[in-house]
Structures are given as structure tokens and as C-alpha cells.
Chain A
Amino acid sequence: MKSFEFFEPTTLAEASRMFTQEHAQLLAGGTDLIIGMKAYTETPQAVISLQKIPGLAGIATDADNGITIGAMTKAREVELSEDIQQHHTALAEGAAEIGSIQIRNLATIGGNIAHASPAADTVAGLLVADAQVDIASAGGERTVPIEALFTGPGQTVLAPGEIITAFRLPRATAGSHYIKHKIREVMDLAFIGVAAAVDMDDATITDARIGLAAVAPTPIRAIEAENLLKGNSLSDVLLAEAGEAAAAACSPISDLRCSAEHRRQMVDVLTRRTVQEAVARA
């Protein structure tokens, strides 16, 4: 890898100021960055580690089951957190799909999201959790909803110097599920990812959220499909309609992994499956 300057700031303000310089990269878990540096696809002049800044890691649950996940929380902790498993199952399942256990013990949820891959494994789960993203910089703090964070593949609304500090999941979800379409059982990238979350009143779906990964330039919500589900009870016809609506919502590409048509078809199939399972879990 190219030589670079390495910084270990101890405050967010310091990190943010360093991060405003050109050719600087943040180091969280390093599982994307270091590989890129070794392959010379990433050649930062400055690497700013976030590891010495206190308060960025950890999962906290408040009295109303609202959960805050620090950006530096390891994917493995998200996967194994009992609160997340219970209240945001889709997110725990997504975290469990990242790489291998060794990778998940290094990789952070903040890195997974800030990298802005449309195929990130935690993103669909965060979408259906209605996650709010806390962002800090030397100039102050702001919060954006997860669906407003991304602007394109590898692109976010983050301005120079802005650093993701936490994800806030405002309330518990009754039932949710994530399915990743892949070839290999583990250590594969998502051909597509689908998460569904529902709240129920007896047999009626009172709220539904569907998050789609790797089917558009950014992760998206399938709003039409969600609206079809809301206020209705589950049936094969309803599932089929929701699947079709979700498929219509995406704008996938054809690439070396599979065709756009296959992605669209899998959104249909997996939306039906995730919704059905989410309802079963609620």
C-alpha cells in the first residue's frame, strides 16, 4: 500500500477537522479501507482512526425500547444484541450476513453504512427500522433519516468533515425479517437484499416497511408495496400484489452477478417471503 499519515484523534471535533483535508479517509473497522489500500484502489494521504474517540461504540436501549447504536459498534455486536434481535430482527440478520465472524468482529455498522454500497447488509434492516442517522462535525450536529443519507453508489449527503456517530431506532418493530439473495451460503455479497418489518393489530397489518438493497443506485423503501399491506390482513393475493409493487419500485442494473430482470424477479419473490415471515414473527 501507499505510505500515508496516520492520525488517532481523541475527540470528534479534532477528527472532523482532520477529515476536512483532501485525500483523507476515516478508519473504523478497516475491513473495506485496508483491502482497498492494499490493492491501490484507495490511496489516502491521511488515515484518521476513530478508535480512540470515546462514546462511539455500544448499543443502548431506552425505556420505550428505542435503541441507539454507536457508529463504531462492531457488526458482530449488532448481530448478537438481544435487544436488536428481538425488536429489529431484520437488522440483526443483516449484520449476521456480513463477511465472516472474523470480519464482523472488526467491521462496524457505521463503516458499513458510510461506505454507501447499495448492497450493504445492514442497510435494509436500518431502513425498515426507520433509523435516524446522527452526524457530527466540527461545525455542529445534525440528524438525517437513513433513506435520505444516500445519493448514489458510494455517495452520501455527508459534507467534508462530517462523521456518522450513531443510528437511532426510535421504536420497536413487532416483526421483521431480512433475506439476502446470494450464491454462496456465507461470505458473499448481496445480489439483492430485502427486509420487511410489520406492526400488527390482531390479523391486521397496521404498519409495514420494506427496504430493498442492491436494486437501485441507493437503498430504497418500497412505499407502494408498504401501502398495499397497511390496513390489510395477510393473504396470498396480498403478498403477490406487494411483491409485484416492490419489484416495480426498483431500478436494478445488469452486471456480472446477475441481470436486472433476475434482480427484479427476486425482489418480488423475497418481498413475499420476508413479509410473510415478518408477520409470522409479529
Chain B
Amino acid sequence: MSEYTVVGQTVARVDAVEKVTGAAQYGADVHPPGMLYGKLVRSKHAHANILSIDTSAAEKLPGVRAIITQADVPSGRRVFATDKVLYLGEPLAAVAATDADIAEEAAELIHIEYEVLPVVQDVMAAIKPSAPGLHGDATKDGPNRRDINAQIRKLSREKEADHSDEISALEAELEKYPDEVYYNISAESHSEAGDVEKGFAESDVVVEDTYVIPRVHQTYMEPHVSVASADSSGKVTVWASTQGPFAIRSGIAGTLGIPLTQINVIGTTMGGGFGGRFGVIITHVPAVLLSQKTGRPVRVQMTREEEFVDGRPAPGCVIKLKTGATHDGRILARQALAFWDSGSVSGASIGSTIRVRGVYKIPNLKVDAYGVHTNKSGTAAYRAPGAPQAIFAGESQLDEIAERIGMDPVKFRLMNMREEGDAVPAGGSEPKVGYKETLEAVADAAGWWDREAGENQGWGVAVGDWTNGCGPGGVYVSVHEDGSVRIFHGSMDITGTDTAISQIIAEILTVPYKSVTITRGDTDSAPYSTGSGGSVVTFTMGNTAKLAAEDAHQRVLELASERLNTNVDNLELRAGAVHVITADPPKSISLGELAAYSLSTTGGPIVGKGSFARQASTPALAAQIAKVEVDPGTGRTRVLKLVASQDVGFAINPMAVEGQIEGGTVQGYAWAMMEEMQYGENGNINPGFVDYRVPTSADLPTVESVIVEVPAPNGPYGAKGVGEPPITPTLATMANAVKDAIGVRITELPIKPEKVVDALKNNGH
């Protein structure tokens, strides 16, 4: 049994009533008096030179109060395109008007003259010399040219000996790789351990394939929205639907040259984030600019269509992957070459390519990753950014190896998993993580070991790893005269984090969960807090909350010591009262009495402060098993069973943790089976929920979640961040199950019916 009374228990979320009744205030619910409606004017072409922008007709429209362009941005940071647009829907200007229809009409009246340029949307086309250069025509070397050029540079630096013959030979070698001159590269990332060529040479089985993962949108329910109000003193207030109010504050300050103290960002209840709600440019900066220009509050709210053309979705990518293993199941080498679709700006999570390593002992590993510019919007984080893509490739290929060597996919994974104390390629050694426990737990729960499959049915397994982030935060805790506890902080509640913080503080101050209330401040009032993304909140704010509660706890004991006239060492806080440990008869004083007493002391009220920034995090593993049935006639796949386990360290609120596991797994399923941003000759062609399909509850059976708890040394009560890991393995889980069902390997997501039918046809069906 748990030694705890509040943490580790499922409790109702602190925001349950306001969410269920609709009382929660979202960004679009904010409506200050005199508010104007802002609208962004967007490019109608995916790639074009801008010859002119004529706002004169729009300015004359009654009700139009302001029109802004890049000329209004003091820092010069790109908010609006000026001479060239790089994607369909890129903002060129913004208008503010007295109602939404006038704003819409004014946006249409702004006449833009374009000179249309060739468009490139596919990463493999974009790296070729024939592609239009989005940011000039600079090139980067591919992996082989890069290695050879590095050798040439090294030899050239050695002045002692003459290496001209060797250099000539290497230069001739370069000629062998004419296709490895990549255009439109936004960023690159390379890492190497051991010697992959040697590893492949020693392998009995080598499998090589190319995996294609589409760009997908976070599809949070609430589109981006911002209400800004600049007053006559220059003070700017922004109601922002964001995961990180403090990041928005600094972003506005930097872009618009406003001092931090003149900006107050009020985070509104978030209608989902998933990593996509950090950007400052999309709506917040235009709203502030329009408000400054008009002197009126302005709301800028994106439609769903705008979300698809100008949101910051997850990058798609192409990963060429090669794996070598021995007949007895040891993985010897893995090599990846990845091209990430970064869109018009850099920023795709190319560093996550390293996750093809998984949680396995792979002695020889080489990863080369490139971000590639295409005529699409930029990208942003989406739940374990980059990991689902890389892990899809890695875990799909593992199953191919397992099949070739005739080994059970679960056993194959178990025998290759890293163990505590193993060297970690990046340095240090592997901490204690429940890799094997988690995989074994899902296999047991799903009935893997005695699984049965009817005709066209199959089972798939995959695992995915992720490590939560960490960041600064501050929390205040006050104890009041009625014994209630109040918490104040500045972190956005995401997926129940305020509830977890409340539970931790209730646990330490030994009060019932219902005695605790929590208030989120704005950036003017609350201590700095890191953004609510990267699975950081429970880890960071949980630790911060713990420190704050412990600080309050200390003050409580001091007050009790005064009041009960005994040394602090003789006191114990238990069930909401301080007890004298050795007293007979028992002697105690309640928290409420101490809080009342504190008001007349020199030391003052009970206020605990917690401040925290950084501690090493511990990796987490998610393991999943799906059973599917594929209709070979139509190519449709039905999920019969989906079981997801996760090493969460410690589940502070088990039902909330299960919710995260289920949600992440369903998002992974969606990416595997149906979600895909599609691009035609002139940009995104499915900007809405008609043709961008997210699953409904009818598409899946209940996800069975299995909580595994191997404590993280630095997590509050051993907790790890739980939000991101569950999306990481599902893409491969589904592809592996489909392969098992019908014998065809789908390497290009999503696994739409047409692809299955075509793959079966190509396979001779």
C-alpha cells in the first residue's frame, strides 16, 4: 500500500467543474469593451515575389480602423512578408475593424500583385539543384561528401608532409557522390558512435528501407487566439491562449521593442496545446500592433482553415534507415539519413533523428539529419517532437529484422534493451529505467504470449522512449486561518498539472485535497514559470511545489514550537495538525489555529516559497501492442485491441496519467492511420476537418492503459513527465500489426486503405 494519502490517488481535477459547465474562460471568451476584430491578410500563392501591396481600397471601407504591414514592426523581425512569400497563407498585412465581417471584407480588398515563382513542397525534390532556392542557392554536403571533405580539410592543415596525392584521390572520390550536394538545407545534425560499416559487415542480416512520415497538425480544439489591449500609457495587456505566457511576454518585448514591465500576458484556459501553442508571431504580435495603432483592444483569432495553412504543425520527414543484426538477435549497427520538412523557416526537430537508436544496445550508430526548406509554413513541437517519426522508422525496421531471423518481436526487443549501468552514447551510464518491465507489462496485459489471430488479423508491438524536460518555476503556498491552503504560481495548467501540484502540496501539509485551492497569476503577478510543454510541468512545478510546501511546513513547525512550548524536533505535522510526538496525554494544534496565531507573531503569516530550475531527468518508456483486422478488399484496418503501458515513475494522479496514455496513444494511432496534411501545386489542400481526419471514439476500442512505476530519482515522489511518451511508439505499433495481419510492410504513412490495397496488389494479391 502507498504510504501517501493524497498523491498516488485519483482525484477530480481542480478545473473539473468549470470545464464541464462551460464556465472556463478561453481566449475567444475575452471581450473587452470597444474591442475590434483583427484579420490577417494572407498570401494566395505558395511562392511568389510581392510586387506591390495596395491598401487604399480597404482603408476607405467604413469600419476599418487600422491596417499594418511589416513596416510597422520596429525590430524588423519577420512578422509579415514583404518582398517574397514562401508559403500559401503567409501573412502580408493585418486589418482591424469594428466587426469580423468588415475585417474579412477589408482583407479581401487589399490588392496584392504577385509574380508567381516555382513551388517545391516535397523534401526530396527540394534538395535537388533543379528546385527553386527558397533562401538562395547555398548547398550542404551529404554524409559521404561531408566525410571526404573533412578528411581533405584535415590533410590540408597538416603542413609537415605533402598530402597532395591523397587529397587528389579524395577529390576524385567526391565525384562519386554528385547527388550529395543538397540544396535548401535549413539545418543539419550529425552523430556517430563506433563504426557502422564494420557493424554491417559483421551482421548476418541487413535491412534497409525508406520511411515517409507526413506533416501533421496538433489539432488542438481551440484555434490560436489573442486579445491585446494597449493603453494610453503604453502598457500592453495580452490575453493569450498559450502554453507559455512568459515566453510570449519576452517574444512580444523582443519583436516590438516594449519593456517587459510594460507587457502583461494573461494566459487563458487552453483548449489543447500539444506543443503548438508557444509561437508569438502567429496572432499575439499582430494583435498588439493593431491595438497600439488603434488604441482599442483587438482580437485576432484564427479559423480552422488558417490553422492548417499558417499553424506550426509537426514536420514530416523521409528517413532512410539501415540496420544490421546477427542470426542470434544482436543488433550490431544502425545508420540513418533523414530529411525533415522544415517549411519556410528552420526549426524542424531534426535532432530527434537520434531516436532511431531507441533503448537498445547498438554499438555502431551513425545519424545524419537535414532540415529542408519547402514552400510550407514553419513547424513547431508536437508531443515528443520528432520522436514518433524516428521511432516509426526504427521500430518498423526492428520487426523486419526479427522476422528475418525468426525471433519473437518482444523477445528480440527485450534481449537488446539497455540495462542500468550500460554506457550511454552521449556519455555517462544508463540510469534505472523500467524498459523491460514496461514491455513485459504490455505483453502480459495484451495476452501476447498466447495470442491468436484469425484470418487477416495481426498483432504489432513497438516501444518508444522520451525524457521529460525541465525548467524554472516558482510557487507560493499560504496557510489560512481555517486551515485551508492556497497556492499561487504562473504555470499554465495542461492536462491536469494544477491538480498534481495541489495534490503534492496537500500531501506535504497533510490536509485533504479539497482544502487546497490553486490560482494562476499573470506575468505581472506570478513568479517566472517555464512553458507548459516537454512534459515539464509535473516534474518542474511538482518539485517547486514540494519545496514551497516544505518551506511552509517549516514555518508551521516553528509556530507550533512557540505555541506548544517545545522544541521543533518533538513535533510532527500529521492530518492537518501539529502533534507533540512524546506527549501523553496527546497534545496538538491544528493548522488553522497556527495560521490564526501566526497573524500576531513577529514572523508573520505562513507563506512557503518554492523556487526550482534544473535537475537531471530520467528517460521514460512507452510500450504498446495492437491487434488489428485488415479488410484486404477495401484496405480498411480495424483495431481490435490496443494496449499501452508506460513507465511513469510514479503516478501522482493515476486517472490523469491514464488519460495521458490514452490520449497520446490515440494521437499516435491517428498519425499512423489517417492524419496527413496534404499539399497540391499551390500549398495545403486539406485545410479543415473534412479532409484532415482525426479519429472519433468510433474508430478505436478502449485503450487499455498499464501503469508501470520505476521511480525517477529527481522526480517529485519519483514522477516522470507522462504527456509525451505515449505517442512515440504507436505509429510503428500500427504498421507492425498491419504487416502481421496481411504480410505487407507499409513504410509510408498514413496507412490509408488505398495504400494497403495497392501494397497487396504489388505483393501479388
Question: Are A40 and B104 touching (Cβ within 8 A)?
Answer: yes
Binds A, one of B13-21, B534-542, B691-699: B691-699
A186 → chain B, closest Cβ, in Å?
Answer: 5
Binds A, one of B279-287, B572-580, B644-652, B752-760: B752-760
| Chain A residues whose C-beta falls within 8 Å of the C-beta of B680 in the assembled complex | 256
Cα A81 to Cα B742 in complex, Å, equals 39
Chain A, Cβ-Cβ closest to B679: A256
Question: Are B101 and A39 touching (Cβ within 8 A)?
Answer: no
| Chain A residues whose C-beta falls within 8 Å of the C-beta of B678 in the assembled complex | 256
- Decide yes or no whether A80 CB sits under 8 A from chain B: no
- Decide yes or no whether A157 CB sits under 8 A from chain B: no
B56 → chain A, closest Cβ, in Å?
Answer: 22
- Decide yes or no whether A23 CB sits under 8 A from chain B: no
Question: Are B693 and A183 touching (Cβ within 8 A)?
Answer: yes
Question: Are B303 and A184 touching (Cβ within 8 A)?
Answer: no
Cα A39 to Cα B302 in complex, Å, equals 12
- Decide yes or no whether B634 CB sits under 8 A from chain A: yes
The secondary structure that dominates the A interface is loop
B158 → chain A, closest Cβ, in Å?
Answer: 57
| Chain A residues whose C-beta falls within 8 Å of the C-beta of B104 in the assembled complex | 40
Chain B, Cβ-Cβ closest to A268: B633
Question: Are A265 and B752 touching (Cβ within 8 A)?
Answer: no
Cα A211 to Cα B454 in complex, Å, equals 33
- Decide yes or no whether A266 CB sits under 8 A from chain B: yes
Chain A, Cβ-Cβ closest to B637: A183
| Chain A residues whose C-beta falls within 8 Å of the C-beta of B221 in the assembled complex | none
Question: Are B634 and A269 touching (Cβ within 8 A)?
Answer: yes
Cα A37 to Cα B141 in complex, Å, equals 51
Q: Mark B521-539, 1 if CB is under 8 A from A, else 0.
A: 0000000000000000000
| Chain A residues whose C-beta falls within 8 Å of the C-beta of B757 in the assembled complex | 262, 265
Question: Are B101 and A3 touching (Cβ within 8 A)?
Answer: yes
| Chain A residues whose C-beta falls within 8 Å of the C-beta of B305 in the assembled complex | 39
A232 → chain B, closest Cβ, in Å?
Answer: 22
Question: Are B101 and A1 touching (Cβ within 8 A)?
Answer: yes
- Decide yes or no whether B674 CB sits under 8 A from chain A: yes
Cα A184 to Cα B754 in complex, Å, equals 13
With A256-B685, A270-B634, A273-B633 already in contact, the answer to whether A184 and B753 are too (CB < 8 A) is no
Question: Are A184 and B101 touching (Cβ within 8 A)?
Answer: no
- Decide yes or no whether A189 CB sits under 8 A from chain B: yes
| Chain B residues whose C-beta falls within 8 Å of the C-beta of A270 in the assembled complex | 634
Q: A183, A189, A273: which contacts B752 (Cβ < 8 A)?
A: A183
With A3-B101, A256-B680 already in contact, the answer to whether A186 and B754 are too (CB < 8 A) is no
- Decide yes or no whether B294 CB sits under 8 A from chain A: no
The secondary structure that dominates the B interface is loop
Interface residues of B in 726-765 (CB under 8 A from A): 752-754, 757-758
Question: Are A181 and B101 touching (Cβ within 8 A)?
Answer: no
Chain A, Cβ-Cβ closest to B688: A39
| Chain B residues whose C-beta falls within 8 Å of the C-beta of A259 in the assembled complex | 754
- Decide yes or no whether A185 CB sits under 8 A from chain B: yes
Chain B, Cβ-Cβ closest to A187: B696
Question: Are B690 and A189 touching (Cβ within 8 A)?
Answer: yes
Q: Mark A45-80, 1 if CB is under 8 A from B, else 0.
A: 000000000000000000000000000000000000
| Chain B residues whose C-beta falls within 8 Å of the C-beta of A188 in the assembled complex | 693
Interface residues of B in 387-402 (CB under 8 A from A): none
| Chain B residues whose C-beta falls within 8 Å of the C-beta of A273 in the assembled complex | 633
With A258-B754, A262-B754 already in contact, the answer to whether A185 and B633 are too (CB < 8 A) is no
Interface size class of A (residues with CB under 8 A): 20 to 34
Cα A183 to Cα B756 in complex, Å, equals 12
Cα A191 to Cα B752 in complex, Å, equals 12
Q: Mark B620-648, 1 if CB is under 8 A from A, else 0.
A: 00000000000001101000000000000
Cα A186 to Cα B104 in complex, Å, equals 33
Interface residues of B in 600-617 (CB under 8 A from A): none
A163 → chain B, closest Cβ, in Å?
Answer: 27
| Chain B residues whose C-beta falls within 8 Å of the C-beta of A257 in the assembled complex | 691
Cα A262 to Cα B101 in complex, Å, equals 41
Interface residues of A in 231-282 (CB under 8 A from B): 256-259, 262, 265-266, 269-270, 273
Question: Are B633 and A186 touching (Cβ within 8 A)?
Answer: no
With A1-B101, A39-B303, A269-B634 already in contact, the answer to whether A185 and B754 are too (CB < 8 A) is no
Cα A164 to Cα B673 in complex, Å, equals 40
A137 → chain B, closest Cβ, in Å?
Answer: 32
| Chain A residues whose C-beta falls within 8 Å of the C-beta of B686 in the assembled complex | 256
Interface residues of B in 684-723 (CB under 8 A from A): 685-686, 690-691, 693, 695-696, 698-699
Interface residues of A in 166-202 (CB under 8 A from B): 181, 183-189, 191
Q: B303, B685, B698, B752: which contacts A185 (Cβ < 8 A)?
A: B698
| Chain A residues whose C-beta falls within 8 Å of the C-beta of B101 in the assembled complex | 1-3
Interface residues of B in 138-185 (CB under 8 A from A): none
Interface residues of B in 99-124 (CB under 8 A from A): 101, 104
| Chain B residues whose C-beta falls within 8 Å of the C-beta of A262 in the assembled complex | 753-754, 757-758
Cα A266 to Cα B758 in complex, Å, equals 12
With A181-B634, A256-B685 already in contact, the answer to whether A186 and B752 are too (CB < 8 A) is no
Q: A184, A256, A258: which contacts B695 (Cβ < 8 A)?
A: A184
With A1-B101, A40-B104, A269-B633 already in contact, the answer to whether A186 and B698 are too (CB < 8 A) is yes
Question: Are B695 and A181 touching (Cβ within 8 A)?
Answer: no
With A39-B303, A269-B633, A270-B634 already in contact, the answer to whether A184 and B691 are too (CB < 8 A) is no
| Chain B residues whose C-beta falls within 8 Å of the C-beta of A265 in the assembled complex | 757
Cα A226 to Cα B376 in complex, Å, equals 48
Cα A257 to Cα B726 in complex, Å, equals 29
Question: Are B634 and A183 touching (Cβ within 8 A)?
Answer: no
Chain A, Cβ-Cβ closest to B700: A185
A36 → chain B, closest Cβ, in Å?
Answer: 12
Chain A, Cβ-Cβ closest to B676: A256
| Chain A residues whose C-beta falls within 8 Å of the C-beta of B636 in the assembled complex | 183
Cα A257 to Cα B305 in complex, Å, equals 18
Question: Are B634 and A184 touching (Cβ within 8 A)?
Answer: no
| Chain B residues whose C-beta falls within 8 Å of the C-beta of A1 in the assembled complex | 101
Question: Are B693 and A184 touching (Cβ within 8 A)?
Answer: yes
With A256-B691, A259-B754 already in contact, the answer to whether A186 and B696 are too (CB < 8 A) is yes
Question: Are A185 and B699 touching (Cβ within 8 A)?
Answer: yes
Q: Mark B288-300, 1 if CB is under 8 A from A, else 0.
A: 0000000000000
With A3-B101, A269-B633, A273-B633 already in contact, the answer to whether A184 and B685 are too (CB < 8 A) is no
Interface residues of B in 56-115 (CB under 8 A from A): 101, 104
Cα A184 to Cα B697 in complex, Å, equals 10
Cα A262 to Cα B633 in complex, Å, equals 11
B515 → chain A, closest Cβ, in Å?
Answer: 40
With A256-B685, A262-B754, A265-B757 already in contact, the answer to whether A184 and B674 are too (CB < 8 A) is yes
Chain A, Cβ-Cβ closest to B632: A269
B560 → chain A, closest Cβ, in Å?
Answer: 58
Closest 5 CB pairs of A and B: A185-B698, A262-B754, A269-B633, A186-B698, A258-B754
In the complex, 9 of the A-B residue pairs with CB atoms within 8 angstroms, ordered by the A residue number, are A1-B101, A2-B101, A39-B305, A181-B753, A184-B698, A185-B698, A185-B699, A259-B754, A262-B753
Query: Beyond A183-B636, A256-B685: 14 further Cβ-contacts under 8 Å?
Result: A39-B303, A40-B104, A183-B753, A185-B696, A185-B699, A187-B696, A188-B693, A256-B691, A258-B753, A259-B754, A262-B753, A266-B634, A269-B633, A270-B634
